[in-house]
Chain A
Amino acid sequence: MPTTLKNEAAIVGVGQTEYSKNSGRSEVQLACEATKAAIMDAGIAPSDVDGMVTFTLDTTDDIEIARAVGIGELTFFSRTPHGGGAAVGIVHQAAMAVATGAAKYVVCYRALNGRSGQRYSEGVSGNIVTSDLIHWSYYMPFGLMTPASWVALITQRYMHETGSKPEDLAQVCITQRDHAVKNPAAFFYQKPLSLDDYMNARMIVDPLRLYDCCQETDGASAVIVTTPERARDLDAGSAVIRGIAQGAGSEQEVMTSFYRDSISEIREMDVVARECYRVSGLGPDDIDAAIVYDAFSSIVLMQLESFGFCKTGEAKDFVQDGNVGLGGRLPINTHGGQLSEAYIHGVNGVIEGVRLIRGDSINQPPKSDHVLVTAGIGVPTSGMILGKPD
């Protein structure tokens, strides 16, 4: 039995629907389409799949997808909680399943009508009927009730402590937009963003402007996870998981971890970074490109620090010095990210991470031996380092 998840699992197939503002069909159908596409990309039969994982937030039922796609018996099914923090968490579940033999081929998927259906930007309301009621009661009456507002509060403090400016957030947005401009699957394909466009866009929650916030998208993304041994027998290129982890910090809340010593630290991602490096035996210098979860631009800066690509408080200089563009030290979000490609809760980023390893990203950098993929922050989260097969 493996004692860590280093090189014990690989992603062998990726699939997605188109990303749109109005899919015109059900989330179940979107999930089926992405799952089928991932199975075909891997070159396996639907009946080979025996495990399924999605988000707790996903409205679809895994067995409905299995029936529709012609997947037969399942020996493993699981869900990962805490919103976008699950983006890599679902792969973590699958990796553990294939490494232990609980399943051979696991589909990880996420489907949402995030624009035409329920929109996260609308925030929480009194209609929630879960134990979350207690949690949100301390925020709703004061109006602090949208994802943008919670992230803006830690962003304000982060900018205050590090001296980061709106222009630094803009640099993240503009760099990622440059990538999306070349990506036909991106909402902002062929639509560049200037600094003036960024600064003149309306405030959503000061200090976050419109383009600091990710999109709301209809669509689905799916990947297939199996062992590196089985991956070798397939024609599809694979991305081997060198290290993968979930993490929650101390004093963790869901989006409102305001009671830590320092609210500008994202301790959950510090845990994930430490564990990814420990499991893989790699360090920041080994990472060639990164898919950094970007529900909001500011959290990209914070994560660059968590993973040690620069010192605490220096992410603003790291991005301004051109490190995160295509010719830079660490190209990030080469698909455009959730700011500029689509918001599929980070799973579209998992797909892009696999593309970078396979060498077929639309914005392929010259070197991509190891690629980092992260999930949402402010919530219990996850991350992984992908590498090329031996």
Chain B
Amino acid sequence: MATSKEEFEARLQEFVGLEIGAPEVGADLVNEPMIRHWCEVMEDRNPVYTDPAAAKDSVHGGIVAPPTMLQTWILDGFDMATPEKQPMNKQRELHAVFNEQGYTGVVATNCDQSYDRYLTPGEQVSGTTVIETISEEKATAIGIGYFIETRTTFRNQDGEQVGWMVFRVLKFKPSAQPAAAPAGDDGAPAAPVRLRAPRTHDNGWWWNKIDEGELHIQKCGECGVLRHPPRPMCGECRSIEWTSIISTGKGVINSYVIMHHPPIPGYGFPIACALIDLEEGTRIISNVVGCDLDEVHIGMKVSLSIENVDDEMKLPLFKPAQ
């Protein structure tokens, strides 16, 4: 269905200000067993939540619920995981409008909560949710999309406001990410992989040779000097003519680091990155594999092993020389 962006955005704005449906009422009253389960899982050992005697002596005068439990009192339970069991409401209608236009992805981005007071056992919580804002189209790292903000106001059985929550999600068109592997057949997100080397005019050929299983070193077509990383002109004689040789892959570690933090997905930190003096006289950055990290040292002799690091990418890696 072809819909102009203006029509689409106008349709989105019709949802702004709407309550998504009837108030969601908690299936259980605020109760001590659920408070205890929560505190166990969260490892929150504050006795005012679980120890009647300590709670009685506290400013609360009795057991209270952790404020951060606020939303849990109105959650659906296991039905949440079964979309077909979910009744249609304005929020799901809005998501359907997005889905029709290809904005099929959804990711929660922010949640702000405010608590007016502590809840006590026996209270019944309900929540009224309003679609508060829908942003302009935004370009994000995971794709273009729109931020939707909903505001839920929580009340007790007497209609007294006990807190609120603003929840923000991004509905987005998943972009084709060259660095991300496709999702599996089961729809589960695939494991992150290493960033691809961007290939352009001056470096693409070198990576293509890696794909073919060869480590090349650029060689000036005039004076014969070797150079790495590849670049279009010889710094010695300024010739733009060049060829390349295949490296023997024998080298010595000039310096190295062990990467710990931040733990960039797809690399399996900690790993060793090294600057290697190749016997041809040029240097290359690579990883040292095939030994314990604490064995890596300056002066270590290493040899090339071009290996697949995932289904698609080959890298020139180095192992301790035999």
Contacts and interface: CB of A to CB of B under 8 A. Distances in A.
Nearest to B228: A259
Interface string A125-148: 111100001111111111111101
B271 A205 contact: no
A143 B198 contact: no
Contacts of A157: 254-255, 275, 298
Given A143-B259, A258-B285, A156 B200 contact: no
B229 A138 contact: yes
Nearest to A123: B264
Given A153-B275, A157-B298, A141 B256 contact: no
Interface string A93-134: 000000000000000000000000000011101111000011
Identify which of B194, B261, B287, B313 gathers the most chain A CB atoms within 10 Å of its CB: B261
A11 interface: no
A25 interface: no
Given A133-B198, A203-B260, A153 B271 contact: no
A206 interface: yes
Which secondary structure characterizes the binding site on chain B?
loop
B196 A126 contact: yes
Given A203-B258, A259-B228, A143 B267 contact: yes
A149 interface: yes
A149 B255 contact: no
Contact of B260 (A125, A135, A153, A206): A206
B273 interface: yes
A160 interface: yes
A264 to B, nearest CB: 8
B82 to A, nearest CB: 36
Interface in B223-269: 228-229, 254-262, 264, 267, 269
Nearest to B261: A204
Interface residues of A, number: 39
Contacts of B285: 138-139, 142, 144, 256, 258
Interface of B: 141, 178-179, 194-200, 202-203, 207, 228-229, 254-262, 264, 267, 269-271, 273, 275, 282-287, 298, 309, 313, 315
27 contacts: A126-B195, A126-B196, A134-B203, A135-B229, A136-B198, A137-B199, A138-B284, A141-B195, A141-B313, A141-B315, A142-B273, A143-B259, A143-B273, A144-B257, A144-B273, A144-B285, A148-B261, A153-B255, A153-B273, A153-B275, A156-B257, A160-B255, A160-B298, A202-B260, A203-B258, A258-B275, A258-B285
Interface of A: 121-123, 125-128, 133-146, 148-149, 152-154, 156-157, 160, 202-207, 256, 258-259, 263
